[in-house]
């Protein structure tokens, strides 16, 4: 465990009524990163966020946020003072007006950024006197974002921040987020099942599936190390397996054998030479392909 | 600001309760002259059983204004309605918000669950205190309009009894609100339990004054036996125990 990481979980498990939502999740979120937490619906993203914020108690494993255990209630209160949060449902208090909601939230955060509040009030065009329940989904999201961004937080945790928004509104929200992070020193941990938006703004990523992190790392490193290797054989592709580390999921289709390599592509090619392929093609892969191969591929 | 949030969440229940109780108190006082007119007819009414005994007791008590107010307002109207609104004020909170929205936002604030519950309980008890005392203040204020008087000291004593007993129902509703995720089941369970106790107590005859509603309507004080200290202490202890259980239950919940 180190100060370089804002969030650290180790072998985190959470069971709800016999259902294992988290099955040994291990994560390290570097300080200052924009960390995309990618996974299908029900993969354990929201449960992880709830555990980080002390809303749910882990069955086993450790959770550290800002280097301190996040679970004891007193520590959790201190941790939440340094975190901005937007929930998947953007659940706010329907009976309050936008103004009341802002004043209410500001009262809990000594480092509340009044300057940012004014800026986002203007740019988001929030109607101060309107009740929250009367806001559109997009405006509600903007309000939730303002309430998270103005806390003066060191860590922003966003659970599906753009869910339910149209593409234009999604772009607007993402741009606001990126602009904010560019001007403030903070870490962003955001969950999503939208690969495109993770690809657009994240510099680190974890792909989670069935409660486990199946891929973690800097996005550039993943792009650098992951390769799709395509072997073409004279006859049907052999039913084989590779011993070389990094060889991942394989697909055989007629004369073609495709291997997803998380590293060591050259060594895999060397090993495959014994099978006498007539051609070898190594191509970079996108985050979407990594996701589809590591998550959907596990079905 | 948590106080403000709790107030916003419960204000309509409180306002409706206060309005109904005040109107009921006003009606009780203004009906007295008519009751006095009807009193001579009561001995001719021949209703057997507990109902008949109650009617005769009511008529007997109504021969004095103090007895009438106690029997009509403190023992019936206020007690029943305060029990209902105590149950309603005690319901809600984080678990109900979790199904209706807002719980995750609340839980993301740098506030402990104990404090969230504490502020909500304190707000509810303050509202309950107002419901227990304010409507009864109509009695000393309005009684001169029907040529009678009612002591403010009596209002304070009866209000204290009513508040402590109602706090038990409020605490029970608060505890059940950490078990059920809707607002209706806690309220219905508490009201059903209160109704069962209310129906059962009269069958204990004179001992009913030591029962829950006997405490709530201040019967011992009315009959000159002083304040029911034991009942008040027992109520306070029961309320504290249930609120503590609610706090522990909330602490172990996953949202």
Is residue B15 within 8 angstroms of chain A, CB to CB? no
Q: Which parts of B91-151 fold into alpha helices (H)?
A: 94-100, 103-107, 113-133, 138-142
Is B54 part of any domain? Answer: no
- Residue position matching structure tokens 């060397």: A270
What does CATH list as the number for A5-221? 3.40.50.300
Q: How many Cα atoms are found within 13 Å in the side-chain-facing hemisphere of B159?
A: 21
CA nearest B104: which of A253, A235, A83, A229?
Answer: A83
Distance (Å) from the alpha carbon of B4 to chain A's nearest alpha carbon: 9
Is B55 part of any domain? Answer: no
Residue range(s) defining the domain that contains residue B97: 2-37+72-251
Is residue B44 within 8 angstroms of chain A, CB to CB? no
Residues of A with CB under 8 A from a CB of B: 16, 50, 53-57, 73-74, 77-78, 80-81, 83, 85, 87, 89, 91-96, 103-105, 107-109, 144, 147
What's the whole-model pTM score?
0.87
B contact test, residue of A49, A87, A110 with most B CBs within 10 A: A87
Q: What is the pLDDT of residue A179?
A: 86
Contacts of A95 in chain B (CB under 8 A): 8-9
Phi, psi of A23 (to 5 degrees): -125, 65
Q: What is the pLDDT of residue A1?
A: 46
A contact test, residue of B102, B105, B251, B255 with most A CBs within 10 A: B105
The arrangement of strands across the sheet holding A247-253 comes to A247-253, A256-261, A227-232, A279-284
Contacts of A87 in chain B (CB under 8 A): 104-105, 108
Handedness of CA B116, B117, B122, B123 (dihedral sign): positive
Is B141 part of any domain? Answer: yes
Q: What is the pLDDT along chain B (255 residues), one digit of tens a residue?
A: 899 999 999 999 999 999 999 999 999 999 999 988 888 877 666 677 777 777 778 888 888 999 999 999 999 999 999 999 999 999 988 888 877 667 999 999 999 999 999 999 999 999 999 999 999 999 999 999 999 999 999 999 999 999 999 999 999 999 999 999 888 999 999 999 999 999 888 778 777 778 899 999 999 999 888 899 999 999 999 999 999 999 999 999 998
Q: What is the pLDDT of residue A296?
A: 62
Nearest CA in chain A to B254: A56
Distance (Å) from the alpha carbon of B190 to chain A's nearest alpha carbon: 26
Geometric angle at alpha carbon A218, from A62 and A48, rounded to 5°: 30
- Mention every residue, 6+ apart, whose C-beta is less than 8 A from residue A139: A124, A125, A126, A127
Contacts of B5 in chain A (CB under 8 A): 93, 96, 104
Which residue of B103, B111, B254 is in closest CB contact with A108?
B111
Residues paired with residue A252 on neighbouring β-strands, in sequence order: A257
What count of CB pairs under 8 Å joins A to B? 69
Q: What is the pLDDT of residue B98?
A: 79
Is B64 part of any domain? Answer: no
Report the domain count for chain B.
Answer: 1
Geometric angle at alpha carbon A273, from A271 and A276, rounded to 5°: 140
Distance (Å) from the alpha carbon of B243 to chain A's nearest alpha carbon: 19
Query: Beta strand A212-218 with A204-209: parallel, antiparallel or unpaired?
Result: antiparallel
Does A109 have pLDDT greater than 90? yes
Is B57 part of any domain? Answer: no
């Amino acid at each position: 465990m180190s100060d370089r990481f804002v969030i650290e979980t180790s072998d985190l498990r959470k069971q709800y009524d016999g259902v294992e939502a988290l099955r040994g999740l291990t994560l390290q979120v570097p300080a200052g990163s924009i960390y995309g937490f990618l996974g299908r619906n029900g993969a354990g993203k929201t449960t992880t966020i709830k555990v980080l914020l002390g809303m749910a108690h882990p069955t086993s494993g450790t959770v550290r946020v800002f280097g301190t255990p996040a679970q004891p209630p007193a520590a959790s209160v201190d941790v939440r003072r340094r975190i901005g949060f937007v929930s998947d449902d953007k659940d706010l208090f329907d009976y309050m007006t936008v103004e009341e909601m802002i004043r209410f939230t500001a009262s809990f955060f000594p480092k509340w950024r009044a300057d940012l509040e004014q800026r986002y009030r203007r740019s988001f065009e929030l109607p101060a006197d309107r009740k929250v329940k009367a806001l559109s989904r997009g405006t509600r999201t903007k309000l939730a974002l303002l309430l998270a961004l103005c806390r003066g937080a060191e860590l922003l945790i966003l659970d599906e921040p753009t869910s339910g928004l149209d593409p234009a509104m999604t772009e607007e929200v993402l741009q606001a987020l990126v602009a904010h992070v560019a001007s403030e020193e903070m870490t962003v941990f955001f969950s999503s099942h939208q690969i495109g938006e993770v690809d657009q703004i994240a510099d680190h990523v974890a792909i989670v599936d069935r409660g486990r992190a199946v891929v973690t790392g800097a996005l550039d490193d993943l792009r650098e190390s992951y390769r799709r290797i395509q072997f073409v054989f004279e006859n049907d592709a052999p039913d084989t397996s590779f011993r070389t580390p990094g060889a991942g999921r394989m697909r055989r289709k007629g004369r073609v054998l495709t291997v997803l390599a998380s590293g060591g592509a050259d060594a895999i090619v060397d090993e495959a030479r014994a099978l006498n392929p007539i051609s070898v093609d190594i191509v970079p892969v996108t985050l979407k392909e990594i996701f589809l191969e590591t998550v959907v591929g596990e079905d | 600001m948590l106080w403000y949030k709790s107030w916003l969440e419960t204000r309509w229940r409180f306002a409706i309760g206060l309005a109904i109780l005040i109107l009921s108190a006003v009606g009780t006082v203004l009906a007295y002259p008519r009751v006095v007119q009807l009193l001579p007819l009561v001995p001719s009414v021949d209703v057997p059983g507990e109902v008949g005994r109650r009617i005769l007791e009511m008529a007997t008590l109504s021969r004095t204004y103090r007895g009438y107010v106690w029997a009509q307002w403190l023992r019936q109207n206020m007690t029943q309605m305060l029990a209902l609104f105590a149950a309603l004020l005690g319901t809600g909170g984080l678990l109900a918000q979790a199904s209706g929205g807002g719980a995750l936002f609340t839980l993301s604030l740098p506030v402990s669950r104990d404090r969230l519950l504490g502020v909500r309980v304190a707000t509810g008890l303050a509202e309950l205190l107002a419901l227990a005392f304010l409507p009864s203040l109509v009695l000393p204020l309005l009684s001169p309009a029907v040529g009678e008087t009612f002591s403010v000291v009596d209002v304070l004593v009866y209000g204290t009894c009513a508040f402590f007993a109602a706090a038990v129902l409020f605490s029970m509703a608060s505890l059940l609100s950490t078990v059920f995720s809707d607002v209706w089941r806690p309220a219905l369970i508490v009201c059903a339990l209160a109704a069962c106790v209310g129906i059962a107590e009269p069958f204990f005859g004179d001992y009913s004054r030591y029962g829950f509603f006997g405490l709530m309507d201040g019967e011992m004080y009315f009959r000159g036996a002083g304040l029911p200290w034991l009942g008040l202490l027992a109520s306070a202890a029961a309320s504290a125990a249930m609120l503590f259980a609610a706090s522990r239950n909330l602490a172990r919940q996953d949202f």
